Chain A
């Protein structure tokens, strides 16, 4: 199930800890980097590789916001819903995404290009409203600027 490359990367992560299971979050992220999300089959294979039960690993996987157990789009957009962003324009960004891009929170665009999620405070409060696009931070984002950022997406 896991590719040679995934196995190799997981082994590197596991070498940093005294027991393999400690690398389970890193291993889930390795799989997610290669496949976009963590399927049931991939989860079972990672659990087997680290000597955990699949149920135990799923307990960890589903605990975290950033481990995706369902497919996501080619790009992932996190709009901050921390209180400073909420106060300074984040709801307007969500409204804009809904009305002009047909994207609701948790949804993926029909062409599979973009998934919209919200994130708790991103630590960019002095540049509210903020977002992460594929992990890259952007601050002081107006709806117009968001359109320009999204237009650059592959």
Chain B
């Protein structure tokens, strides 16, 4: 039993918090998966990842292998692999932890992904504020290039793969894959039409696959240990697609719990175990009011529903999502209307302005919530907020930003009904945030 058996993604992390160096990474088996993958055909690598049912860790849960298989067939032109490292969902920091702790793991995952889809160029699209990760990734990239893992003639295979780090300049929407591609091309980062898919016409019109950091970090382990191992690592119930969601998941917990932080656990670990066992439960003097299990754009879960397995499908049964596995815990001394206002302020500010419902609807929602929070709310405002949860829902907007914003509002209007009504009657009863 090595640390990598239970914690493949974080088992190499150094106790001093520094990044795993190339030497240490190689000593712990690093880049062996790449050697193995280069001995396999691209089709065989893709098949292995399809059989592992590796689902996208950016929140949507789309199977990575299926995405890779949808890449248009190679011709003479460029093909791209992009790591989406634009982690900006409030509450989320798992990708930062993975990139700061073990940058070579992401790089190896990207090279294997590039081999699988026969790409010649890759970009790591990193959010601006992750400057520690930027320094560590740049250093690791230089190490990997010197060692012959990246660049011309990868490990003398005859295949070349050039990998670049692109640091963005601070907008949440850049994490939306179409907006990310526009940003990389130097255009305003507004989403693209869903069709044609990026795997047909992505960066500069060429086939492009975009995967989340954590998704790519899983790839070397699937190649080394096999799809069956990956599937068997999940502990949740069978998913809608058949089979279970496999592998481990880096869950993060924040809020007034005893041990806020990150925890790599089997995929499908119950929300209650994550909060109570691993994060140590609520701090003395604080009660649990609600949880957002997967980041700011996931619905609130009530304290009675914590037994839900944290895999891709189970939380949908209680009107929420696992999202990025970013658990945010809300205590009973924080005003839930204030929480909702803060969340909607974020979404309104980060709307790219491309489509009307999002651009005009989110600031309206923010203003309604502020009025209620400040004791200026009118009874009819609740109906207006309900209306927005429909008008800004899926199918009414160009991308998932506004529908994501509506998930906490829709569930919050139900779960915090008493608080809304009390605010309308007498203003905010909570003394202060913070």
Seen from chain A, the residues whose Cβ lies within 8 Å of a Cβ on chain B are 16-19, 21-26, 28-29, 50, 52, 59-60, 63-67, 78, 81-84, 86-92, 119-129, 132, 135-137
Contact = CB atoms under 8 A, between A and B. Distances in A.
A3 B350 CA distance: 34
B188 A125 contact: no
A81 B342 contact: yes
Interface string B116-156: 00000000000011111000000000000000000000000
20 contacts: A26-B167, A50-B186, A63-B188, A64-B128, A81-B346, A83-B328, A83-B343, A83-B346, A87-B342, A88-B434, A91-B433, A119-B170, A120-B349, A120-B350, A121-B91, A121-B296, A124-B93, A125-B93, A126-B93, A126-B254
B346 A126 contact: no
Contacts of A86: 338, 342, 433-434
Given A24-B186, A89-B434, A91-B433, A125 B168 contact: no
A47 B328 CA distance: 42
Contact of B131 (A120, A125, A135): A135
Interface string B404-415: 000000000000
Contacts of B375: none
B168 A25 contact: yes
A23 to B, nearest CB: 7
Contacts of B96: 123
B204 interface: yes
Given A64-B169, A84-B90, A121 B184 contact: no
Contacts of B184: 22
Contacts, number: 140
Nearest to A50: B186
B97 to A, nearest CB: 9
Nearest to B183: A25
B129 A126 contact: no
Interface in B70-90: 78, 87-90
B169 A67 contact: yes
A84 B78 contact: no
Contact of A29 (B164, B169, B343): B169
Contact of B255 (A23, A84, A120): A84
Contacts of A24: 186
Contacts of A92: 434
Contacts of B204: 18-19
Nearest to B334: A87
Nearest to A128: B254
Interface of B: 78, 87-93, 96, 128-132, 164, 166-172, 183-189, 204, 252-256, 260-262, 296, 328, 330, 334, 338-339, 342-343, 345-346, 349-350, 352, 432-434
A118 B87 CA distance: 17
A126 B350 contact: no
B169 to A, nearest CB: 4
Q: Among A59, A65, A124, A129, find the residue whose CB has the most chain B CB atoms closer than 10 A.
A: A65
DSSP class of A's interface residues: helix, strand, loop or mixed? mixed
Contacts of B253: 126
A62 B277 CA distance: 45
A21 B182 CA distance: 11
Nearest to B261: A126
A149 B342 CA distance: 27
B90 A82 contact: yes
A51 to B, nearest CB: 10
The 9 closest A-B pairs by CB, nearest first: A125-B254, A64-B169, A65-B170, A123-B93, A126-B260, A66-B170, A121-B90, A24-B186, A21-B186
Contacts of B164: 16
Contacts of A65: 128, 169-171
Contacts of B256: 87-88
Nearest to B169: A64
A119 B433 CA distance: 18
Contacts of B93: 123-126
Contacts of B87: 123
A57 to B, nearest CB: 9
Q: Among A25, A65, A123, find the residue whose CB has the most chain B CB atoms closer than 10 A.
A: A123
A29 B169 CA distance: 8
B132 A83 contact: no
Contacts of B189: 63
Contacts of A121: 88-92, 296, 346
A75 to B, nearest CB: 15
Contacts of B186: 17, 19, 21-25, 50, 52, 60
Contacts of A28: 169
B92 A123 contact: yes
Nearest to B257: A126
A128 B183 CA distance: 30
Nearest to B326: A125
B170 A87 contact: no
Contact of A132 (B129, B167, B261, B346): B129
Nearest to B91: A125
A82 B169 contact: no
A18 B350 contact: no
A92 B253 CA distance: 23
